[in-house]
Amino acid sequence: MLFNSIDFAIFLPIVFLLYWFVTKGNFKLQNILLLVASYFFYGCWDWRFLFLLIFSTGLDYFTGLKMFDASSSGMKKFWFWLSISVNLGFLGVFKYYNFFMASFAEALSHVGVQANYSTLKVILPVGISFYTFHGLSYVIDIYKDRIKPERNFIHYSVFVCFFPLLVAGPIERATHLLPQITRKREFDYDKAVDGLRQILWGLFKKIVIADNCATYVNDIFANYQTQTGSTLLIGAVFFTFQIYCDFSGYSDIALGTARLFGIELLRNFAFPYFSRDIAEFWRRWHISLTTWFRDYVYIPLGGSRGGKWQAIRNTFIIFLVSGFWHGANWTFIAWGGYHAVLFMPLLLLQKNRRNTDMVAKGRILPNLKEIFQISITFMLVVLGWIIFRAETIGISLLYIKTILSKSLFTLPHYVVGMSKTVLFIGLLLLVEWFQRDKKHALELNVTGNKYLKWTIYYSIVLIILEFGAYSQSFIYFQF
């Protein structure tokens, strides 16, 4: 079930009404309802994978308890590694098996050995990377004695399967979400209204910008050989906005939906395209994943405590792993590596934490230096997205080569057709710029003029209905 579908528009109000009216504020009943709704939500995609989801949830729940109750550190370790290996095993089989086999066979062929291997015709269970990471963080936190295990299976299952975050995050932490699930939730009018606003803005980003950009991006990337450099550059810039609006739009809808149920999820995006350097970009892009890798990979590996070389090594590791997390393709690994390379100068010069606050804080407009920094960072990010989007690394290099050719200075195709999309990208940037100190772009003053606010809401609804493109699935579902 997609967030931008009629099915979801029917599903959400039903669950909302049952949640607040039928359960009469009993949070245990509410959790049962959320769990049933979440399984239904997931089952609408493919009910067979519900068993995998339930098994994965049960495994982490069980091993969490076993670790906590273990009589010796050996037993604790055993349960910990059992959970880790089964979780990663599922990921390996469903997501990476064919990639590893193909890469292994190709490597052997370079030394003259022709290996026969069979590929698995596996469907990637939607959201597997997200819910596996939920489970992993829970198990690791128990193992490290940071939290106690949740003894109520329903509560724990809601933590893993809560439908707004089930298929594309944000990747939650037990320390943040579980306490909210195990206590009574009160309806908060202002938060619920703000949740609806965030959903509306998410839908605008997804349907008006991401889906309109997708039409051009798919065509340009599919026919990159016959396109001019200027058209390819437009394709890359459009993809930059497509992936941002697709994923952050999804996150906005997820966060807004959760707020309707009195639950706050982790923020996933903080206006990343206003970043002044790559380090800042990574503090603002897919925050829940970035911090996950920081806390569960980078810091356990020693972080930057062991000197420069260790910091370099660990930085490369998390960027490469982060790239690989996105999918079984060398392009994702190359994309991770590319960002690691961009990050290195900042790390070595110890400038990776110089831009921690929002750009042009307290001012309306940025200064020239900030404009320059934002533009350079944006172009570097655009280049990275070409690697990410291309089918192979070779294609991405050809694509970039064509952009850097003379044909960059010719008139691009599609100019007339894409003008509306460009206009809406402009609107997005404008709204986000003026709202950049807020949690989301449509966060409005609660005591403001009601008529003005309703005019804004209806305007967005009308733009969505009039200019929204045919709905496509969310990009991050495949990850």
Partner 1 sequence: MKRFILNFVLFTVVPLLVLVLVYLITDPFKTIKPFDLKNVSTVNRDYLSTELFLKNNKIYHYDSFIFGSSRGCGLNTYLWKSYLPKGSQQFLFQAWCETITGIYQKIDYLDKHNQRIRNVIILIDVPGTFLTNQEPHEVMTIKHPLFSGMSWLKYQSYLFRAFLQPSEVIKSISDYTLGKRIPVNFDTISNDWESTNIDSWQKQPMQNSSLDKSKFGIKPKDETFSTPQINESFEKILENIYLMLKKHHASYKIVVSPAYDQVHINVADLHIISSIFGAENVYNFSGKNKLTTDKYNFMDLNHFDLNVGWEIINTCYDKSKSVDLKCK
* Residue 189 vs 309, nearer CB to partner 1: 189
The nearest distance, CB 436 to partner 1, in angstroms, is 27
Rounded to the nearest whole angstrom, what is the least distance from the CB of residue 432 to partner 1 in the complex? 24
Minimum Å gap between C-beta 410 and partner 1 is 11
Residue nearer to partner 1 on the CB measure, 221 or 293? 221
Stretch of residues binding partner 1 (CB under 8 A), selected from 73-81, 247-255, 421-429, 457-465:
457-465
- Please, which residue, 207 or 237, has the CB nearer to partner 1? 207
Separation between Cα atoms, residue 189 and residue 295, nearest integer Å: 34
- Rounded least distance, CB 366 to partner 1, Å: 35
Contact between 336 and 293 under an 8 Å Cβ cutoff? The reply is no
Q: Kindly state whether residue 357 participates in binding partner 1, applying the rule CB under 8 A.
A: no
149-185 core/surface letters (b: 16 or more CB in 10 A; e: else)? bbeeeebbbbbbbbbbbbbbbbbbbbeebbebbbeeb
- Helix ranges restricted to H, 111-228: 128-143, 153-161, 163-166, 174-181, 189-203, 211-222
Query: In this chain, which of 309, 409, 451, 470 binds partner 1, going by CB under 8 A?
Result: 470
Q: State which residue, 107 or 465, has the beta carbon closest to partner 1.
A: 465
Taking the least distance from each CB to partner 1, the nearer of 166 and 232 is 232
459 CB contacts (<8 Å, ≥6 apart)?
none
Instruction: Identify the helix (H) or strand (E) that includes residue 440.
Output: none
CA 68, CA 73: separation in Å to the nearest integer? 10
Q: Which residues contact 119 (CB under 8 A, 6 or more apart)?
A: 97, 98, 101, 102
- Letters for 196-215 (x = contact with partner 1 by CB under 8 A, - = none) are x-------------------
Give, as ranges, the residues between 286 and 325 that touch partner 1 (CB under 8 A). Answer: none
User: Is the four-CA dihedral 102, 106, 108, 114 of positive or negative sign?
Assistant: positive
Residue span 408-447 as binding mask against partner 1, x where in contact by CB under 8 A, dash where not: -----x----------------------------------
Structure tokens at 79: 């349960």
CA-CA-CA-CA dihedral for 136, 139, 141, 145, to nearest 10: -160
Distance of closest approach, residue 239 Cβ to partner 1, in angstroms: 18
Does position 466 interact with partner 1 (CB under 8 A)? The reply is yes
Left (φ > 0), alpha (ψ -120 to 50) or beta: where does 358 sit? beta
CB 406 within 8 A of CB 415: no
Least separation in angstroms between residue 193's CB and partner 1 is: 7
Q: Are 23 and 29 in contact (CB under 8 A)?
A: yes
Rounded to whole angstroms, how far apart are CA atoms 367 and 378? 16
Q: Which of 134, 286, 326, 440 is catalytic?
A: 326
In 261-352, alpha helices (H):
278-284, 287-293, 308-325, 330-348
The encoded tokens of residue 203 equal: 């839908």
C-beta of 84 vs 398, nearer to partner 1: 398
Tell me the C-alpha distance between 341 and 312, whole Å: 10
Q: Does 1 bind partner 1 (CB under 8 A)?
A: no
Could you tell me which stretch among 126-134, 162-170, 191-199, 417-425 binds partner 1 (CB under 8 A)?
191-199
Nearest-angstrom CA–CA distance, 198 and 211: 18
Q: Would you say 357 or 466 has its CB closer to partner 1?
A: 466
Please work out the total of residues on this chain that contact partner 1, with binding judged by CB under 8 A.
15
Specify the stretch interacting with partner 1 by CB under 8 A; choose among 63-71, 247-255, 433-441, 464-472.
464-472
Of the candidate residues 20, 27, 99, 316, the single one contacting partner 1 (CB under 8 A): 20
Site string for partner 1, 92-131 (x = CB under 8 A): ----------------------------------------
Among 193, 297, 321, 427, binds partner 1 (CB under 8 A): 193
326 annotated active-site:
yes
44 vs 196, which CB is nearer to partner 1? 196
Q: Is 465 in the site for partner 1 (CB under 8 A)?
A: yes
Nearer to partner 1, 196 or 393 (CB): 196
Among 55, 81, 372, 454, which residue sits at the site for partner 1 (rule: CB under 8 A)? 454
Task: Count Cβ neighbours within 10 Å for each residue of 91-116 and write b for 16 or more, e otherwise.
Answer: beebbebbbeeeeeeeeeeeeeeeee
Does the footprint of partner 1 cover residue 451 (CB under 8 A)? no
**Nearest-CA neighbor of 277 among 361, 384, 378, 385?**
378
Give backbone dihedrals phi and psi of 354, rounded to 5 degrees, phi first: -80, -25
Report 214-273 residues binding partner 1 (CB under 8 A).
226
In the complex, the residues that contact partner 1 under the rule CB under 8 A are 6, 20, 187, 189, 192-193, 196, 226, 413, 454, 457, 462, 465-466, 470
Which residue numbers are catalytic?
326
